Amino acid sequence: MATGRTHRPATRSRGIPEATVARLPLYLRALTALSERSVPTVSSEELAAAAGVNSAKLRKDFSYLGSYGTRGVGYDVEYLVYQISRELGLTQDWPVVIVGIGNLGAALANYGGFASRGFRVAALIDADPAMAGKPVAGIPVQHTDDLEKIIKDNGVSIGVIATPAGAAQQVCERLVAAGVTSILNFAPTVLSVPDGVDVRKVDLSIELQILAFHEQRKAGEEALALAEAEAVVEVSEESGKGPDGDVPAVMPA
């Protein structure tokens, strides 16, 4: 998952746990694939495998939505697709704007996954006057000056921020002031928003850093195991504070 989440921990929406909501799109994708192969029904075991989760967890997740399965048979694929889509609010079309049409913004505009399910790129917005009018993914880029008007004319409530970090907070404030209440933030900044506005954060660099941590641990364990196997262990104590010189790749304990 992209990682960072900025969420109201308080109100759970109609009793559906946040963790379950986060998995519904996963189930939906797996179900859609089954639907395209004209598979009529699926068991919790099969679907769980396809979605990469535990089958008990899947059943509990679905139990929050209602009793949509048939014991002894499984779940009706089409019906479940419909129910989850409805629950996620994907039966209606959500117009979204993307602000910041750099490399990432352009990639997002071209990303098929948006249009495919419930989302429509209503407008692309950039601060660079040279970009104005230039079509990206078939949509002409508009200038930031018109941001408020674009939001209101299109009834946009979801905004995607793909600007540099420095511009993100200001863009965010203008989006919110214009009526946007959900923001997907790709800029490496902590956005502060008023209550009632949801922010989700996708941070590429953070994901890599988390991987690096595990990678380092794996390397450390490997080397440690190796050292133990050789049974030649010399421990050089190092104490005190302050950025002292290099630290050995394999640290004791």
Partner DNA sequence: CCATCTTTGTGCACGCGTTCACAAAGACAT
Partner DNA sequence: ATGTCTTTGTGAACGCGTGCACAAAGATGG
Q: Which residues are annotated binding-site positions for NAD(+)?
A: 100-105
In the complex with DNA, the residue whose CB is nearer, 73 or 204, is 73
Q: Could you say which DSSP state residue 73 is in? A: T
Determine, following the binding rule CB under 8 A, whether residue 95 of this chain makes contact with its own copies: no
d(CA 174, CA 168): 10
Give the whole-angstrom CA distance, residue 187 versus residue 95.
Answer: 21
Return the range that interacts with DNA (CB under 7 A); candidates 11-19, 81-89, 96-104, 130-138: 11-19
Nearest CA to 172 among 154, 157, 156, 160?
A: 160
Selected range binding DNA among 40-48, 90-98, 150-158, 224-232, rule: CB under 7 A = 40-48
For residue 181, what are the contacts with CB-CB under 8 A and spacing of at least 6? 157, 196, 197, 198
Residue ranges for the binding site? 100-105
Rg (CA), the chain: 24
Pick the binder of DNA from 6, 32, 35, 55 (CB under 7 A).
55
Q: 58 burial class (0-12, 13-18, 19+ CB within 10 angstroms)?
A: buried
With CB under 8 A as the contact rule, the residue among 2, 56, 177, 226 that binds its own copies is 2
Give the residues across from 200 on adjacent strands.
5, 184
CB 46 to its own copies: min, Å: 13
Q: Which of residues 175-204 bind its own copies (CB under 8 A)?
A: 181-184, 188, 190, 192, 196, 198, 200-204
Check residue 116 for interaction with its own copies (CB under 8 A).
yes
Contact 99, 161 (CB under 8 A): yes
- For its own copies, give the closer residue by CB, 106 or 125: 106
50, 65, 132, 178: residue in contact with its own copies (rule CB under 8 A) = 50
- Residue 17 sits in the site that holds DNA (CB under 7 A): yes
Length of the chain: 253
Binding-site ranges for DNA (CB under 7 A): 9, 12, 17-20, 43-45, 53-57, 59-60, 62-63, 67-75
